Structure 1
Amino acid sequence: MNPISLSPNFARILLLSTALIVSISTAIAGGRSGERNLMDDYLQSKTSVNSSASSAFSQQSTLINNNALVFNRGATSVDNDDFDKKFSLAKTLTNIRNTSNATTNSSNAQLLNSLLKTLNVDSKTNGFVKMDLQKRAQEASLSGLVDNMSPTAIFNRFDLSSSSGQHCGEYRVIYHKNNGGRFFLIFEAQYPNPELKKGKAGCFAVADFWKEIGSMSKTDALVQLEKFFYQGLEHKGVQLPAAINFAHYTHGTGQVRSNAFINSPWQLREFKTDINTKGEAVFVADSVKSNPLAELFAKEGSLDSDSLKDLRVDFIRDFSGYVDNLLAPEKRATNPSSSDIINGFGLENDNQYNEFQSDSSASDNTANAKNTNLKTIINNKLAALNLSGYNAKMIMNRAEAMSCGGCHQNSNGAEIAPNVKWPPSKFFVHVDERGNLSPALTKQFLPARAALLADYWQKTVDKTVEKWRFAEVDFSSAYNDFGGLHNALNYPNIYAFAALKADGSITAWGDSKYGGSGAPDGNGYTKIYSNEYAFAALKADGSITAWGDSRYGGSGAPYGNDYTKIYSTEFAFAALKADGSITAWGASDWGGTGAPSDNGYTKIYSTGFAFAALKADGSITAWGSDWGGSGAPDGNGYTKIYSNNAAFAIVKADGSITAWGSSEYGGSGAPSDNGYTKIYSNRFAFAALKADGSITAWGDSKYGGTGAPSDNGYTKIYSTAFAFAALKADGSITAWGDSKYGGTGAPSDNGYTKIYSTLGGFAAVKADGSITAWGDSGTGGTGAPDGNGYTKIYSTWEGFAAVKADGSITAWGGLGSAPDGNGYTKIYSNGMNFVAVKADGSLTEWGWDYGGTTPTSNATSD
């Protein structure tokens, strides 16, 4: 087929307004993406919206101000100045440049100019077809836009999430020119699935984030939205990446669109991020989706080129499938509602038919097309479905509704089904410079998206969300997951439990002096942290509530919000803000006072008695007891801090180690060479591992500070409070330290895959699920079960509990017998108790009785 050159004045099918968010159900802003998505799934499965599932989202009177769907300037309680600051165009462009991996630096102005320059090009080729473009000289010559555009609105397009779970929809920021003519930019980031292995259920954390945003004040919502779009954040244990990222707008993902009326006519274009031959991040023009040439809808003319004739033949051949897409609502249900019709169809044409601009000219009304072949195809489809009262013009109006012009042409009451009219827009846009939303959005598109979000959340929560979310670090995870208890970010509570329900409310039980009572009322909490005597809970807005022993952090939590994470020593807490500032509270001798007053810190570490905070440049500030609270090294370049009960040890990029704190615990005596990759600890000593698997230990000689093996090939080190055990790649084990507490007695065979520990005992598991234990008999060093098939081991101070694939549990050590039966999915522990959880959220506890009642239900309050 030969290239064709087509006049920019010829009629075209155009995109639905601009991606200023409207699109019907599954469109990429006005045109469907061609992949099945969650709106398809939702409309396929529903016969009517379940009011109990969607009432929180579907009240039309609240939609305009519902942060879960749209955050628009000018809405009630929106601080426009704060919106301008948090979502400036400069900030968005900077994020795109900084995530581009471009080899040549460029400025925000250069990046934006790369987009504007494409508006002054007179042609571009789609595959083998050259298509003429209108040169938009006035818009191409715009200058100063980086500082002369303001954010208009933010839209949640979770409904565009891939049905297969490949991505979690689009998240859009719209900007408008402040003066001198109407010009919009729409940044439509396609969001990656943060838990891709779970399929579409992996998008739950994204949906849940927006659901919670919907219940916040405008001020609090804006804070969280800024994190979601620019920094990324952790939501209920799932890391959500920043939405604004070069990769989220490039080929095969999202897009950026312009919508302009400085030149005439009003025109939409589409762009992708790319790297040019100079190594700079740029925008390049791309075809406008669901925007085929209007000539393809016209009758063949005597002046048509052979290329256009051939392209029209191909389009007619494929049009039958496109009509099926346009008739999707009627194919899904016998009598679809008007809402299901308006939100449930698309064109989804192949990209080879699309061009690179979309105009809003009156002559572009493809519903008046004269190609009788297309009308015949439509009429045959209508007859096959036995659709009484339908005609070809209605279906052509649907095709037109996929276009910029059609969205507005059809605002004049165009019928798309008997007694169903296309909803009105707001003069070429669906959100204007003041943030006003069109009737099409408020009456049709937003309610449908709201219902889908509620439906997805309700159907997915029971399959995805843990019925209980216990404190971030329980005793078992502290001992077994961090290379030593003291390397965990929190010290586990000794005698109490606290757990979050799905609605963010908290239930606590156990010894009341340790936080077993006094948990806060209300919901909206996202994480619980602990020290040995108290708990501290964090809300989505970054506010903190603490309870437990008032001397040790159970009171005195900071006011305000924007805290992102909480760390602890044995008796104090330290909370980190988004700006890297720190607030501490609790026992002053354990780090509850003395936190640094500056900011820029990225992480906090702790011994039992002191904190040490690390900055991005690798410099360190410590406070608390002299056992680690003083003596931190000067300089920078440090990458990670490790700790035991009374000393710190840090590794530099070259693998050299510096230690400080109590000399008896390893605050001195660190190795002088380099090449170390990780440090492990028990209560009294350190053991550092090199890349070749060799080990150097220092600290209290009675408890593992000496006696490390002299060979190499070790891959990981585990510890009780008083001994170490190192594992090789072949699964063989070498132990050293206090012989009573696991320093001797390790098994002599190999094939072990992981080692678990209590205060004084080890238990190693093989690939076949068989277990060998050694160490103190009172803390699980003897009594391990016979047989195999165990998949994981949990621990307290005094005992172990091993679970099989069928959810049955065997316990040994000092805490008595495990519950009978099976079906348990996870076990949590404090210092002296286990709690086993079943899939239905029921709990069974055993161990020491320190008061309080274990909850029997995980039901949330209405």
Structure 2
Amino acid sequence: MATSSDVFFELPELSGLEVAAGTCSATLRANCSYQCAHLAKPGRRCRLLQGSLEIAPITPLAALGLISGTCIPVVWPSSSAADRHPLSRAFASIKADGGVVTWGDARAGGDSSAVASLLTEGVVQVCRTSHAFAAIKADGGVVAWGDAGRGGHFLGVAPLLTGGVVHVCGNSNAIAAIKTDGSVVTWGNFGRKGGSGDSSAVAPLLTEGVIQICGSYFAFAARKADGSVVTWGDVVGGGDSSAVASLLTDGSVHVCGSNRAFAAIKTDGSVVTWGFAGGGGDSSAVAPLLIEGVVHVSGNSHAFAAIKADGRVVTWGDADRGGNSSAVAPLLTEGVVHVCGSSRAFAAIKTDGSVVTWGFARGGGDSSAVAPFMTEGVVHVCGNSNAFAAIKADGSVVTWGFAGRGGDSSAVAPLLTEGIVHVCGNSNAFAAKKADGSVVTWGDAGSGGNSSSVAPLLTEGVVHVC
């Protein structure tokens, strides 16, 4: 199981795609390989590499100089801040045949009956907003459902979503899709100071070259193949990056969001931040620690945590929500390999499999109640709004935080003692996928913590939960 959140770690899940015999067509792009990877692991984000360089979906294969039998490394990062829960109250699972099962708050996308006929097969990725979902099918077409104003309907851009989509990303009220040619299509909420469903203000910059999109609550940031970053949406919440524009023209290798700010890692390991100052947009207090050596950044609602190459952690943003980690500072000076946020706290996994937590106590920042279970063997941590769930090497799960939102998993404890390979959190609940393809849920019943209405569909064959 992968324990990293992006390719900057040494521990991502790796595989490879072999180049078929014959010369690559001058017009064939790497998206064909991305589609193969998506079919192999539906629902999972992936990145293709050539040496230390990332191959974008828009890259012409002929330009890579590949020969028959060449193996292209594929990285499947585990769930991370890049896929943060946008306060959703529903879940969607992809099954081995590409069908989709949904449950939870019907108004938030838990009821997909209106598009059921389009979700019986072929789905390779699903993303969500606070009240809707969007799914990519193997042919590159998109299906959306849920609240129409928050991404569940894309009538205005429908002709652009019939094929060629390689990735979809949601924030609270809108969705952005990357196409094979690196262009971007957006839909959803158009309010909130130039809401992020409307990208017309930066449309000329989104016609090609985009390889990553990240959402804050009401804004998006798109990273391009040339290392530049384009932003739009709520001007206070990260949609306006003009204050740091000169630092975002090249060299960006990853972008991460909190609810109201963004942080970009550059090739030299430095970090650039923008957006609402109190939400992590102002990192001046720790600036000397962010000029080099950063390999990963994770965001929660109002703060960021950065891991450096030597395994230490640097935090900034709202002090009460994890921006101040001084209470556990001696435990964060080395050996950290993964950091995950709930809305108001952080949890860090160390090389020995132990876990360190900080931030709002009731939101998961205080893990003392389960401390004996987290001194070793933890391989992954997932957060929701106010709780965490940790997977251990033996496949068991440990939970803590606000009891009613998934911090208390005692009702399903016998089902969480072994075999868990993935955990996903939404606003108030968790869903865990087992090695046998079944799913276990807990937390707030109305938010998907109770999946009894679709239980017969979740006993086997599930390959991903969002």
Q: Which deviations, in whole Å up to 9, do the C-alpha atoms of 1:767-802 show, x marking residues without a partner?
A: 345554332222333455489545446354444566
What pairs up with 1:801-820 in 2 under 5 angstroms? Answer: 813-815=443-445
1:519 match: secondary structure: helix
In structure 1, which of residues 693, 716, 720 is the aligned counterpart of residue 338 of structure 2? 716
1:672 match: secondary structure: helix
Q: Which deviations, in whole Å up to 9, do the C-alpha atoms of 1:155-210 show, x marking residues without a partner?
A: xxxxxxxxxxx9989565xxxxxxxxxxxxxx5x7xxxxxxxxxxxxxxxxxxxxx
2:187 corresponding residue in structure 1: 585
Indicate how the Cα distance of structure 1 residues 620 and 573 shifts in structure 2: closer, same or farther if over 3 A, else same: same
Give the AA of the match of 2:321.
Answer: Y
Indicate how the Cα distance of structure 1 residues 745 and 233 shifts in structure 2: closer, same or farther if over 3 A, else same: closer
1:683 match: secondary structure: coil
Q: Which deviations, in whole Å up to 9, do the C-alpha atoms of 1:222-257 show, x marking residues without a partner?
A: 9xx95468964424434799876755348x99xxxx
2:90 corresponding residue in structure 1: 495
Indicate how the Cα distance of structure 1 residues 761 and 535 shifts in structure 2: closer, same or farther if over 3 A, else same: closer
Tell whether the 8 Å contact from 2:384 to 2:428 is kept in structure 1 after alignment: yes
Structure 1: stretches of 5+ with no match in the other structure: 1-165, 173-186, 190-221, 254-476, 817-829, 846-855
Query: Would you say 1:611 and 2:208 are equivalent positions?
Result: no
1:533 corresponding residue in structure 2: 131
1:759 match: secondary structure: coil
In structure 1, which of residues 630, 641, 653 is the aligned counterpart of residue 267 of structure 2? 653
2:114 match: secondary structure: coil
2:174 corresponding residue in structure 1: 572
Tell whether the 8 Å contact from 1:500 to 1:525 is kept in structure 2 after alignment: no
What pairs up with 1:625-664 in 2 under 5 angstroms? Answer: 625-626=234-235, 627-632=237-242, 633-634=244-245, 635-664=249-278
Give the AA of the match of 1:644.
Answer: S
1:697 corresponding residue in structure 2: 315
Tell whether the 8 Å contact from 2:386 to 2:405 is kept in structure 1 after alignment: yes
Indicate how the Cα distance of structure 1 residues 508 and 614 shifts in structure 2: closer, same or farther if over 3 A, else same: same
1:85 corresponding residue in structure 2: none
Q: CA deviation at 1:812?
A: 5.4
Q: CA deviation at 1:713?
A: 2.0
After TM superposition, the score normalised by the length of structure 2 is 0.70
1:344 corresponding residue in structure 2: none
Give the AA of the match of 1:585.
Answer: W
Query: Would you say 1:234 and 2:35 are equivalent positions?
Result: yes
2:203 corresponding residue in structure 1: 597
Q: Which deviations, in whole Å up to 9, do the C-alpha atoms of 1:508-535 show, x marking residues without a partner?
A: 6665544423216457754443322223
2:241 match: secondary structure: coil
The separation in 2 between residues aligned to 1:573 and 1:810, in whole angstroms, is: 28
Q: CA deviation at 1:832?
A: 4.3
Tell whether the 8 Å contact from 2:212 to 2:222 is kept in structure 1 after alignment: yes
Q: Which deviations, in whole Å up to 9, do the C-alpha atoms of 1:382-425 show, x marking residues without a partner?
A: xxxxxxxxxxxxxxxxxxxxxxxxxxxxxxxxxxxxxxxxxxxx
Tell whether the 8 Å contact from 2:89 to 2:104 is kept in structure 1 after alignment: no
In structure 2, which of residues 423, 426, 432 is the aligned counterpart of residue 794 of structure 1? 423
Q: CA deviation at 1:641?
A: 0.5
The separation in 1 between residues aligned to 2:173 and 2:253, in whole angstroms, is: 26
Q: CA deviation at 1:584?
A: 1.2
In structure 2, which of residues 377, 380, 390 is the aligned counterpart of residue 752 of structure 1? 377
Q: CA deviation at 1:571?
A: 0.9
Indicate how the Cα distance of structure 1 residues 831 and 167 shifts in structure 2: closer, same or farther if over 3 A, else same: closer
1:736 corresponding residue in structure 2: 358
The separation in 2 between residues aligned to 1:167 and 1:679, in whole angstroms, is: 28
2:186 match: secondary structure: strand
Give the AA of the match of 2:39.
Answer: G
The separation in 2 between residues aligned to 1:249 and 1:643, in whole angstroms, is: 39
Indicate how the Cα distance of structure 1 residues 764 and 752 shifts in structure 2: closer, same or farther if over 3 A, else same: farther
After TM superposition, the score normalised by the length of structure 1 is 0.40
1:628 match: secondary structure: helix
Tell whether the 8 Å contact from 1:773 to 1:782 is kept in structure 2 after alignment: yes
The separation in 2 between residues aligned to 1:541 and 1:806, in whole angstroms, is: 28
Q: CA deviation at 1:609?
A: 0.7
Indicate how the Cα distance of structure 1 residues 540 and 672 shifts in structure 2: closer, same or farther if over 3 A, else same: same
The structure whose RCO (Cα within 8 Å, separation 6+) is larger is 2
1:654 match: secondary structure: coil
The separation in 2 between residues aligned to 1:565 and 1:772, in whole angstroms, is: 31
Indicate how the Cα distance of structure 1 residues 836 and 675 shifts in structure 2: closer, same or farther if over 3 A, else same: farther
Indicate how the Cα distance of structure 1 residues 227 and 526 shifts in structure 2: closer, same or farther if over 3 A, else same: farther
1:113 corresponding residue in structure 2: none
Q: Which deviations, in whole Å up to 9, do the C-alpha atoms of 1:547-578 show, x marking residues without a partner?
A: 32221122235213433322221111112222
Indicate how the Cα distance of structure 1 residues 723 and 542 shifts in structure 2: closer, same or farther if over 3 A, else same: same
The separation in 2 between residues aligned to 1:538 and 1:814, in whole angstroms, is: 28
1:655 match: secondary structure: coil
Query: Would you say 1:775 and 2:372 are equivalent positions?
Result: no
1:591 match: secondary structure: coil
Q: Which deviations, in whole Å up to 9, do the C-alpha atoms of 1:615-647 show, x marking residues without a partner?
A: 222111110012111125323211110111111
The separation in 2 between residues aligned to 1:698 and 1:229, in whole angstroms, is: 37
Tell whether the 8 Å contact from 1:644 to 1:686 is kept in structure 2 after alignment: yes
1:335 corresponding residue in structure 2: none
Q: CA deviation at 1:492?
A: 7.8
Indicate how the Cα distance of structure 1 residues 612 and 720 shifts in structure 2: closer, same or farther if over 3 A, else same: same
Indicate how the Cα distance of structure 1 residues 777 and 793 shifts in structure 2: closer, same or farther if over 3 A, else same: farther
1:618 match: secondary structure: coil
What pairs up with 1:12-411 in 2 under 5 angstroms? Answer: 187=23, 226-227=27-28, 232-235=33-36, 236-238=38-40, 246-249=65-68
Pick the structure with greater CA Rg: 1
Indicate how the Cα distance of structure 1 residues 568 and 594 shifts in structure 2: closer, same or farther if over 3 A, else same: same
Q: CA deviation at 1:679?
A: 0.5
Q: Which deviations, in whole Å up to 9, do the C-alpha atoms of 1:688-729 show, x marking residues without a partner?
A: 111111111111111111025242222211222111122221
Indicate how the Cα distance of structure 1 residues 795 and 565 shifts in structure 2: closer, same or farther if over 3 A, else same: closer
Q: CA deviation at 1:744?
A: 1.9
In structure 2, which of residues 437, 457, 466 is the aligned counterpart of residue 843 of structure 1? 457
Identity %: 30
Q: Report the structure, 1 or 2, having the larger helix content.
A: 1
Tell whether the 8 Å contact from 1:490 to 1:567 is kept in structure 2 after alignment: no
Tell whether the 8 Å contact from 1:751 to 1:767 is kept in structure 2 after alignment: no
The separation in 2 between residues aligned to 1:525 and 1:808, in whole angstroms, is: 19
Indicate how the Cα distance of structure 1 residues 226 and 770 shifts in structure 2: closer, same or farther if over 3 A, else same: same
Tell whether the 8 Å contact from 1:720 to 1:761 is kept in structure 2 after alignment: yes
Give the AA of the match of 2:287.
Answer: S
